[in-house]
Each structure stands twice: as C-alpha cells, then as structure tokens.
Amino acid sequence: MASKPAFATGAQVEHPKFGPGSVLSCSDQHIVIKFDESGERKFVLEIALPSIRKIDRQPPADKKRASKKKAAAAPAAAVPAAAVK
C-alpha cells in the first residue's frame, strides 16, 4: 500500500537556502519544488524533509517572460568606391 506523500502538489513551502516555493511533485523518494527566485529544484525527500516547512501564503502568479525584441541592425553606411584608395 502506497503511503501518503509528505506534501501535496501545489503546497506552499519554504527552504532555508532557497526561500519560498510551490511543490510540483512529491513521491516517497523525491520532492520537486519550484522556488520563486531560484527556479525548479529536486531533492531526496528523506534528506530535505527536515529543512522544508509548509507556509501559509497564496501561490505567486506566474511571471510572463518579457519578450525582447531584436533591434534592427542599422545598415552599414555605404562608402563610395571613389572614396576608397
């Protein structure tokens, strides 16, 4: 019989080094957390469990990536052939 995971998917947690984050998945062996500042991390549950605590907060809204528009390269100034010697 499978045991209940330590944290539910979507649970809000905090790690002393990586700060607050959201649980993406949790199994008997691993937990995957998407941290607000440092991205997605995968931990061995048995090792990380003592340092991860549940917190009471609303999940942050997903940040949309700002699309960077490539600046159009200015055409090189044409040098008249007569000017080149």
Domain boundaries, the chain: 1-59
CA distance 76 to 33: 49
Q: pTM value?
A: 0.68
pLDDT of 59: 81
- Topology of the domain comprising 1-59: SH3 type barrels. (2.30.30)
pLDDT digits (tens, 9 = 90+) for 17-73: 999 999 999 999 999 999 999 999 999 999 999 999 999 988 877 666 665 665 555
Q: How far is CA 75 from CA 41, 78, 79, in A?
A: 45, 8, 12
Number of helices (H), then strands (E), belonging to the chain: the values are 1, 5
